[in-house]
Amino acid sequence: MKYQVVLQHSEEDCGAACLATVSKHYGRVFALNRTREAVGTGYRGTTLLGLSRGAEALGFNTRIAKATSEFIDSLDQAPLPAIIHWKGYHWVILYGKKGKNFVIADPAIGVRYLTYSELMEGWSNGVILLLIPDETRFYQQAEDKIAGFGRYVARVWPYRLLIIQAIAINFAIGLLSLTSPFMMQLLTDDVLVRGDTQLLTTVAIGVMIMNLIKSVIGLVQSHLIGHFGQRLQFGLILEYGRKLLHLPLSYFEGRRSGEVVSRIADVDDINQLVNQIVLGLPSEFFVALVSLGFMLFYSWQLSIACILAFVIVTIVNLFFFPALRRKTRKHIVLGTENQGFLVETFRGVQVLKTTSASPQAWQEYQRNYGRLANLSWGMMKLELYSSTITGVLSHLTTITLLWVGSYFVINHTLSIGQLLAFNGMSGNFLGFLSSVIGLADEFIAAQIVIQRLTEVIDATPEDENDFKKPWAKILGNADIICNQLNFHHSGRIDLLQDFSLTIPGGKVVALIGKSGCGKSTLAKLIAGLYSVQSGNIQYSFYNQQDLSLECLRQQVVLVPQEAHFWSRSIIDNFNFSYPNISFEEIVRACQITGAHEFISQLPDKYQTVLGEYGANLSGGQKQRLAIARAIVTDPPILILDESTGALDPVSEAEVLERLLSHRQSKTTIMISHRPKVIQRADWIVLLEQGRLKIQGTPEELRQIKGEHLDFIDEFIPSNNGFNSSLVVHN
């Protein structure tokens, strides 16, 4: 029996890889990216609930169980393969028992054979997910075509004219290199042996001319290859960037930023390999083939010896490839994780310093890069052993050819010139072997890199049919109607269940509730940043799914609590989001939020360059600026998700007074825990654990007893028996 295994791309992919493995076992090929989306893999991995839901979505019937000793004794009666929880942090496939050993497929390593004690040591909690393919649902699932290296080679077709020119030049250089052995034969047999000085002059001039021509052609070749490589790399980077910007918010929330960014550097590896395969390999193969033909002409015995050496060197290198592939995969994954750790560290440097976490960060830094260094050294040793053995065999081959060839010369089967020419031809032939072996090493790394890039390029975009959808003007007094919404974050329990709510248009609406009750999630659903699993959201009579994302994002604007700014001037930050706005509109928006006051005190005013993430602004200043950016186009629906929380109460009251006065007859949704903010609302909605608890005007809700009163009215704690004294300083 052949045990299937789909290897993970990164540590958190183990659950998705396990599901892809089980699917492959039952005859369905699903891309890892598809299973990852199905199970809801995040940067912390995959939950058991996510695995079960994802498997159900792909057509399996699932059951979560707890394995006992009786279950293990009767494994042959269980529906295997199944997914088991390994060492408390990993998912692997249990295939069953073979002989005295148990067979598991580890997505991080491959197929492993374990003893009973080893199995129980790793599977200590006994958690198992049993999967049985539904005869109808599973086999109706469309299979994925796993795109490999061929998709990137196919990208060279638009540059076919350039490629033909480069390959033709490569062939010309190859043919010129073939003349060197003949020149050596001519120089030895006809010049040195006969002492023909006139022919010597002719040969010397001919060699100089050929080398000059070869150098000129080589210059043209380098120019063409460089031009081709630059255009190919540029196209790949643009495609990656375009796909990345069209991915949903949930994609980025489930991954480290360093992991996403690091994949741009992977383009270089693919680009270099495509260059070598498309441009270099055909000409080298042609030269090797022609050289082999001449070698057979000179001496079939020596040619067979050369081919035998070719086979031996190939077998030796194939022996090292599996270990090198495993280490290369680990090296790329670990390098990505280290880069993600550095990005997180730099972004959280303030917390790092205020919590005295620098020693712990330094220890983790040392540990991570120590592992990476050890892995790099392991790869270097494998490559060193491989290259050393290959070099020794190549030298032995050359010595053997000269040794045996010398006997042929002594026996007058070959001339000295023919032997030297054969040696040169064998160099071309074995040189092709070295190129192929080097290419194989690069191909191992490129395969892993391609899988990582493909994960982004083939990921499901926010809306595949967005370009077909229309633009519609949403009115400021349009009611927002949420009808039977169901939503859960990937791999988690349902957050909204059959949720229905009508938010009155043209009003100031406050969403209140305890932390984690679903307020921010509902806001992101209304803004189109999340997609509901089922249900519908309407803006008056427009369905959210009928509108293009651009239409939605420009008219339903969400201001998060943590405002983000680019490292450029204040005015450029506005123009980056809204290129067509005027400077007057920017100033007017800043005056409403009070940002104009502190901007006017800056040395460069609106041309002041902000630090990374707006680091040179206070929290309150960033929030003023973020609200100003949101209202500069006067959107009909504005959502403030605790967007004034960093302001002091006086400043917050002033900003809200001007803002809400400016936005009369338009919908403003505020998420806040501050009574002073909530009291400004015309309509209040209380959520509790993803459900609508109560709604109404502030006056109506004050007449009803309940927890909502803690949000609406100020709570003044007692002095616990202490006498209070008020001191006023003049």
Of the listed ranges 180-184, 479-483, 558-562, 617-621, the least confidently predicted one is 180-184
232/529: higher pLDDT: 529
Of the listed ranges 545-554, 598-607, 708-717, the least confidently predicted one is 708-717
Query: What global pTM score does this model have?
Result: 0.74
Fold for 467-712, please state it. Rossmann fold (3.40.50)
- Cα 69 to the chain's mean position, in Å? 41
- Strand 683-688 relative to strand 691-696: parallel, antiparallel, unpaired? antiparallel
- The phi, psi pair for 534, rounded to 5°, reads -160, 165
E strand intervals along 244-376: none
Q: Which region, left, alpha or beta, applies to residue 27 given φ > 0 means left and ψ of -120 to 50 means alpha?
A: left
Q: Quick check: 589 pLDDT over 90?
A: yes
Domains of the chain, by residue range, sit at 11-133, 150-457, 467-712
Can you tell me whether residue 507 is helix, strand or coil? coil
Token digits for 601? 């005190």
If you average pLDDT over each of 152-156, 350-354, 431-435, 496-500, which comes out highest? 496-500
- Nearest-angstrom CA–CA distance, 247 and 529: 11
Of the listed ranges 23-27, 273-277, 686-690, the least confidently predicted one is 273-277
Q: Is the dihedral of CA 679, 651, 664, 526 positive or negative?
A: negative
- Cα 690 to the chain's mean position, in Å? 31
Helices assigned H by DSSP within 458-560: 519-526, 549-555
| β-bridge mates for residue 666, sequence order | none
Q: Quick check: 667 pLDDT over 90?
A: yes
Can you tell me whether residue 509 is helix, strand or coil? strand
What average pLDDT does this structure show over 519-525? 92
Residues 6 or more apart whose CB falls under 8 angstroms from that of 73 comprise: none
Q: Are 143 and 267 in contact (CB under 8 A)?
A: no
| β-bridge mates for residue 691, sequence order | 688
Q: Are 499 and 482 in contact (CB under 8 A)?
A: yes
Of the listed ranges 264-268, 633-637, 724-728, the least confidently predicted one is 724-728
- The phi, psi pair for 56, rounded to 5°, reads -60, -40
Q: How confident is the model at residue 94 (pLDDT cuts 50, 70, 90)?
A: very high
Q: How confident is the model at residue 721 (pLDDT cuts 50, 70, 90)?
A: very low
Of the listed ranges 29-33, 333-337, 514-518, 657-661, the least confidently predicted one is 333-337
E strand intervals along 433-572: 480-487, 496-503, 508-512, 534-539, 542-543, 556-559
What average pLDDT does this structure show over 679-696? 89
pLDDT at residue 590, rounded to an integer: 94
Q: How confident is the model at residue 723 (pLDDT cuts 50, 70, 90)?
A: very low
Q: Are 478 and 505 in contact (CB under 8 A)?
A: yes
CATH of domain 11-133: 3.90.70.10
- Strand 667-671 relative to strand 508-512: parallel, antiparallel, unpaired? parallel
Buried/exposed code over 22-34 (b: 16+ C-beta within 10 A; e: otherwise): bbebeebebbbbb
723/53: higher pLDDT: 53
Q: Which region, left, alpha or beta, applies to residue 514 given φ > 0 means left and ψ of -120 to 50 means alpha?
A: beta
Token digits for 429? 């032939």
pLDDT at residue 724, rounded to an integer: 38
- Nearest-angstrom CA–CA distance, 103 and 76: 12
- Strand 637-641 relative to strand 556-559: parallel, antiparallel, unpaired? parallel
What average pLDDT does this structure show over 265-275? 69
Q: Quick check: 574 pLDDT over 80?
A: yes
- Nearest-angstrom CA–CA distance, 416 and 408: 9
What average pLDDT does this structure show over 367-377? 85
Give the angle subtended at the CA of 56 by the CAs of 55 and 58, to the nearest 5°: 65
Number of C-beta neighbours around residue 615 at 10 A: 12
What average pLDDT does this structure show over 702-730? 56
pLDDT at residue 275, rounded to an integer: 67
Helices assigned H by DSSP within 147-196: 150-153, 160-186
Q: Is the dihedral of CA 217, 219, 223, 229 positive or negative?
A: positive
Q: What is the pLDDT of residues 29-56, one digit of tens each?
A: 888 888 888 888 877 788 888 899 889 8
Q: How confident is the model at residue 183 (pLDDT cuts 50, 70, 90)?
A: confident
Of the listed ranges 112-126, 165-179, 239-253, 466-480, the least confidently predicted one is 165-179
| β-bridge mates for residue 684, sequence order | 510, 696
- Nearest-angstrom CA–CA distance, 349 and 358: 9
Token digits for 648? 């002091």
Of the listed ranges 158-167, 576-585, 588-597, 603-612, the least confidently predicted one is 158-167
Laid out side by side, the sheet with 480-487 consists of 496-503, 480-487, 534-539, 542-543
Tell me if the domain spanning 150-457 has CATH number 1.20.1560.10.
yes
Greatest Cα pair distance in the chain: 123
pLDDT at residue 504, rounded to an integer: 93
Can you give the C-alpha Rg of the chain in angstroms? 35
Q: Quick check: 708 pLDDT over 80?
A: no
pLDDT at residue 717, rounded to an integer: 43
Q: How confident is the model at residue 515 (pLDDT cuts 50, 70, 90)?
A: confident
Buried/exposed code over 169-185 (b: 16+ C-beta within 10 A; e: otherwise): bbebbbeebbebbebbb
| β-bridge mates for residue 501, sequence order | 482
E strand intervals along 35-149: 60-66, 82-86, 90-98, 101-106, 110-114, 127-133
Of the listed ranges 174-188, 234-248, 537-551, the least confidently predicted one is 174-188
Q: Quick check: 431 pLDDT over 70?
A: yes
pLDDT at residue 152, rounded to an integer: 62
Can you tell me whether residue 148 is helix, strand or coil? coil
Q: Quick check: 641 pLDDT over 50?
A: yes
pLDDT at residue 725, rounded to an integer: 36
Q: Quick check: 276 pLDDT over 70?
A: no
673/710: higher pLDDT: 673
Give the angle subtended at the CA of 131 by the CAs of 125 and 132, to the nearest 5°: 150
Q: How confident is the model at residue 263 (pLDDT cuts 50, 70, 90)?
A: confident
Q: Are 382 and 325 in contact (CB under 8 A)?
A: no
Q: Quick check: 123 pLDDT over 80?
A: yes
% of the chain with per-residue pLDDT over 70:
91
Can you tell me whether residue 725 is helix, strand or coil? coil
Q: Give the Å distances, CA to CA, from 23 to 10, 58, 77, 91, 145.
A: 20, 9, 20, 15, 14
